[in-house]
Amino acid sequence: MKALIYTALAAVCLVPLYATADNHQQPVEVEADRLDLDQRAGTAVYTGDVEVRQGDMLIKGDTVEIQRNEAGELSRATALGERAYLRQQPENQEGPLEGWGRRVIYHVAERRVELIDQAEIIQQGDRFTGGRLEYFIDREVVQARSDVENQEPQRIRMTLQPEE
């Protein structure tokens, strides 16, 4: 039985989280206090000060749910917490992109990150805040909205640093 659990855990942890071109070749490392694994559903729910790392990408939350597609590949990672966190080093940029929200959802195939409820993104000194922020990794595009489901709108604010 232990061998089956270790095999299942390894299968969940070795699926790719893409950030830069080399990240998909890096191992996924997960630290948490608890794991609830459902192989049939293709989900793993980690709880308790969770950190998911692969290459230069880091996702943190009180709870992180990892979902796999039918091929066993990571399709989505969702972090929840008072300040769930994402850090990623985009290619060809000096500093990392950092993002916070009460919910952070990383859509692997689309290479898109959603930050929801008290969302914030900081990259190279530029800062975006609002109810919902979406970051398209490959295109380096941010879309901001004030609406958050079942909550008062959270105004969009943006601070852009002058180019040097």
Q: Which residues are registered as beta bridge partners of 36?
A: 45
Please say if the pLDDT value at position 24 is more than 80: no
Q: Is the pLDDT of residue 9 over 50?
A: no
Closest of 61, 123, 74 to residue 96, by C-alpha: 123
Q: Is the pLDDT of residue 72 over 80?
A: no
d(CA 55, CA 52): 10
pLDDT of 21 strictly over 70: no
Residue 59, token pair as written in the block:
């996702």
CATH of domain 2-159: 2.60.450.10
The DSSP secondary structure of the chain, one letter per residue, reads: -HHHHHHHHHHHHTS---SSTTGGGSPEEEE-SEEEEETTTTEEEEEEEEEEEETTEEEEEEEEEEEE-TTS-EEEEEEEEEEEEEEE--TT-SSPEEEEEEEEEEETTTTEEEEEEEEEEEETTEEEEEEEEEEETTTTEEEEES--TTS-----EEE-PPP-
How far is it, in rounded angstroms, from Cα 27 to Cα 50?
16
Cα(88)–Cα(96) distance, integer angstroms: 6
Task: For residue 55, name the pLDDT band (cuts at 50, 70, 90).
Answer: confident
Q: Indicate the pTM of the whole model.
A: 0.79
pLDDT at 44: 93
Query: What was the pLDDT predicted at 17?
Result: 36
